[in-house]
Chains A and B, each alone.
Chain A
C-alpha cells in the first residue's frame, strides 16, 4: 500500500462531499456540533470529506473552531 500525502491531495477524498458554498453555509453548525456531544459528521454528511479535499475550507473550519473555543474560554 502506498502512503497518502501528495497522492491524497491530488486525488481528493473520493466519497460524496459538499462543495465550498454548502460547506460555508454549514460551517457554524458543524463547528458547534463538533464542540458538543453530537456526531457532526453524521448530521452533516459530506462535510468531513470536503474539509479533507479543500485546504481553504479546512483552514476556515480550523479558524472558526479555534475562535469559538477561545471566546468560550473568555466567557467562563
Chain B
C-alpha cells in the first residue's frame, strides 16, 4: 500500500472554520440504528488498529478488505457514467481508492468519536475516495466551461401572460445579479458547479484549491445573489420552494 496521495480527497479534512450562521450543534446522543444493521465491535477495531505487530497487521488487512468492498460498490453504482472505462480499469480505481481510504482512516483514527459504528465511519472514506477518483476520470481531458451552457429557464406553456412577465423580470434580475454582484471568481465557480454540472472536486483540482474552499465560495456567491434580488424587490424562498416576484 503506497504513501498517501496528496491529491486524495480525504487529505487535510480537518475541522473547518464555520461560516457565519452555520448551525450550532450540541453533544449528540449515541445513535442506535447502526447496531441493528450489524454488530461489529467499534472499540475493538480502534484498539487493534492502534496497536503494533501482527494484531495491527491483521486488522489493517481486514479494514482494507472492508473498504475495497465499499469501493467496488461505488464503482458499480457509477459505472454507467463511465462507459469508456474497461472492467480492469474500474477495478484498479477501486483498489487505489481502497488503498487511499485505508491510509486516510489510519491517519484519522484519533478523530473517530464513536458516534456511529466504526465501519460506517470508515466506509465514508472509501466511498468518497472512489467517487472523487471516478469523477476525475470522467472529466479527464475535458474542459470546464466558463460560461453557462444554458441560463435557467422556466418555460411553462400553461403560464399566464402575467406569470411570463414575472419570470422574465426574475430572469433579468438574476442575470444582472450574477453579472454585477459577484466577483469573477465567484461567478466562475458558481456557474461551473451549479449550472454546468462540473463536479466540485474536479474544479477544485484545476483551480488548485479544495472542495470545502470552493463550496464556501459558492455559499458566499449565493448569499450575495439573494441579497441583490431582495434589494430588487424579489423575495427568493429556500431551494425547493420556488421564488416569488
Contact = CB atoms under 8 A, between A and B. Distances in A.
Interface of A: 1-22, 24-25, 27-29, 31-38, 43-46, 49, 52-56, 59-60, 63-64, 66-72, 75
A5 to B, nearest CB: 7
B243 A1 contact: yes
Interface string B230-245: 0000001111111111
A17 B22 contact: yes
Interface of B: 13-16, 18-19, 21-25, 28-29, 31-34, 36-39, 70, 73-74, 77, 111, 115-117, 119-121, 123-124, 127-128, 131, 135, 152-154, 156, 166-167, 170, 174, 190, 193-195, 197, 199-201, 211-212, 215-216, 218-219, 222, 225-226, 229, 236-245
Contacts of B195: 6, 9-10
Contacts of B121: 28
Contacts of A21: 13-16, 212
Nearest to A13: B239
A67 B125 CA distance: 12
A43 B28 CA distance: 7
A38 B36 CA distance: 13
Contacts of A44: 23, 25, 28
Contact of A33 (B31, B174, B197, B222): B31
A39 to B, nearest CB: 11
B27 to A, nearest CB: 10
Contacts, number: 203
B212 A20 contact: yes
B239 A11 contact: yes
A58 B74 CA distance: 14
21 contacts: A2-B154, A2-B170, A2-B245, A4-B241, A5-B152, A6-B195, A9-B152, A14-B239, A19-B212, A19-B216, A20-B16, A25-B15, A25-B111, A29-B31, A37-B33, A38-B32, A43-B28, A43-B29, A46-B23, A64-B127, A68-B120
Contact of B120 (A8, A16, A64): A64
What is the predominant secondary structure among interface residues of chain A facing chain B? helix
Contact of B236 (A11, A27, A53): A11
Given A2-B167, A5-B152, A45-B24, A20 B38 contact: no
Nearest to B194: A9
B45 to A, nearest CB: 13
Given A10-B174, A31-B120, A68-B123, A15 B238 contact: yes
A9 B151 CA distance: 12
Contacts of B127: 60, 63-64, 67
A13 to B, nearest CB: 5
A46 B38 contact: no
B37 A72 contact: yes
A16 B23 contact: yes
